[in-house]
Amino acid sequence: MRFRIFGSIVICVLVGFGAFGVSRWAFKPTLRSLADARGLDFGVSVGGSGLRTDPYGSTTAREFNLVATENALKFEPTHPNPDEYTFDEADTIVEFAEAHGMSVEAHALVWQNQNPDWLMNGDWTRETLMDVLHDHIATVVGRYRGRIKYWVVVNEAMTDEGVLADNFWMQNIGPDYIEWAFRWAHEADPDAVLLYNDFNAEGLNPKSGGVYNLMKDLLAKGVPVHGVGFQTHVYYVWSPPPAEIAANMQRLNDLGLQVQITEMDVRIDQPVPEGALEMQADIFREVLGVCLEAENCTAFSLWGLTDAHSWIPYFYEGWGSALVLDGDYRPKPAYDALIETLEKHK
């Protein structure tokens, strides 16, 4: 044997590096380990196909203790035809989470977008559409009863002016579609945490005031709504002031509701300007810090694993670089900012 002294140690180290590669991940805390220590659900939105490959799957399992079903459980993918339900991708995500000791947040039962043509173009009465919605919620939520921790029940139902949007559901059912959606979801899985989710409602403005009033009204009716998701799609030169986010969280806490950062990304115009990554990191640091200080903030999630898996370049021309890992899975200053913030709040 060539190494007589410390030989076994050298061999173990070499074997370890051979199996996992020498990288910045070796011997360093992960987002997941720090979030676990803090009791925070720390999540990322994922697609089922990516989880079957590396480094997508291994990075997801290493860095996060919560996965969000980015598109897999929205109406169109799960219910493509009136008498057809499909769950292959959602099953993959849920099974991955269970295999890796992770929780699941499902998006979204009722939304204006990503609905099938047969639904949007149907000739509905109020009663027939309510039957369709009830069946959809009962079937989708019921399939995963006891396996999904959080459900986004209603997504983006509020206008910037703080009134209910005149969307498909409002036009065909009326404002009580929100109430019924929560009641039916609760019937299908009484143990799931049920959320209302929206964008541009993180700080204090007419929209967040409308969301607050909606929650207050639903609770007064005994509707089983448990929390509010702040999507937090912002950009590197603007984000709601942390004090406003904290005040918004507090008033929802006063109603007995939890809050979550559900879809955070911080987009940057391209090519990335000098200093922009550091400004992005500061925003991630601030928002996570507010969440960790809030009594009722139970989860913090990113909308996409890496910059290569972000929706931003497809919807905001000339923008990108919105996440904490770049397209090659390398950590950016924002990743380090999240690590430092979690370490500070142990």
Find the CATH number of the domain harbouring 338: 3.20.20.80
Task: Look at residues 334, 342, 331 and name the one whose alpha carbon lies nearest to residue 55.
Answer: 331
List, for residues 125-138, the tens digit of each pLDDT value: 999 999 999 999 99
Do residues 32 and 64 touch, judged by C-beta distance below 8 A? yes
SS3 198: strand
Q: CB count, 10 Å around CB of 31? A: 24
Task: Look at residues 315, 306, 322 and name the one whose alpha carbon lies nearest to residue 236.
Answer: 322
- The predicted pLDDT at position 30 comes to 98
List, for residues 86-107, the tens digit of each pLDDT value: 999 999 999 999 999 999 999 9
What region does 267 belong to: left with phi over 0, alpha with psi -120 to 50, or beta? beta
Structure tokens at 37: 């220590």
Pick the more confident residue, 97 or 3.
Answer: 97
List, for residues 233-271, the tens digit of each pLDDT value: 999 999 999 999 999 999 999 999 999 999 999 999 999
- The predicted pLDDT at position 97 comes to 98
Looking at the domain assignment, is residue 228 inside a domain? yes
- Whether the predicted pLDDT of 14 surpasses 90: no
Looking at the domain assignment, is residue 117 inside a domain? yes
Looking at the domain assignment, is residue 18 inside a domain? no
- The predicted pLDDT at position 11 comes to 35
Mean pLDDT over each residue of the chain, to the nearest integer: 93
Looking at the domain assignment, is residue 181 inside a domain? yes
Total number of domains constituting the chain: 1
pLDDT band, very low/low/confident/very high, at 6 (cuts 50, 70, 90): very low
Looking at the domain assignment, is residue 8 inside a domain? no
- Whether the predicted pLDDT of 232 surpasses 80: yes
- The predicted pLDDT at position 9 comes to 37
* Domain boundaries, position 81: 24-344
- The predicted pLDDT at position 345 comes to 87
Task: Look at residues 230, 182, 238 and name the one whose alpha carbon lies nearest to residue 208.
Answer: 230
SS3 51: helix
Segment 173-191 shows an average pLDDT of 98
- Whether the predicted pLDDT of 16 surpasses 60: no
Looking at the domain assignment, is residue 15 inside a domain? no
List, for residues 261-303, the tens digit of each pLDDT value: 999 999 999 999 999 999 999 999 999 999 999 999 999 999 9
Do residues 226 and 257 touch, judged by C-beta distance below 8 A? yes
63 CB-near residues (< 8 Å, 6+ apart): 30, 31, 32, 42, 44
Segment 65-83 shows an average pLDDT of 98
Task: Look at residues 22, 21, 93, 31 and name the one whose alpha carbon lies nearest to residue 57.
Answer: 93
pLDDT band, very low/low/confident/very high, at 28 (cuts 50, 70, 90): confident
**Apex CA 202: angle with CA 195 and CA 196, to 5°?**
15
Active site residues per annotation: 156, 263
Looking at the domain assignment, is residue 10 inside a domain? no
- The predicted pLDDT at position 335 comes to 98
Phi, psi dihedrals of residue 264, rounded to the nearest 5°: -70, 135
pLDDT band, very low/low/confident/very high, at 225 (cuts 50, 70, 90): very high
Partners of residue 68 on adjacent β-strands: 45, 105
Looking at the domain assignment, is residue 337 inside a domain? yes
pLDDT band, very low/low/confident/very high, at 17 (cuts 50, 70, 90): very low
- The predicted pLDDT at position 27 comes to 61
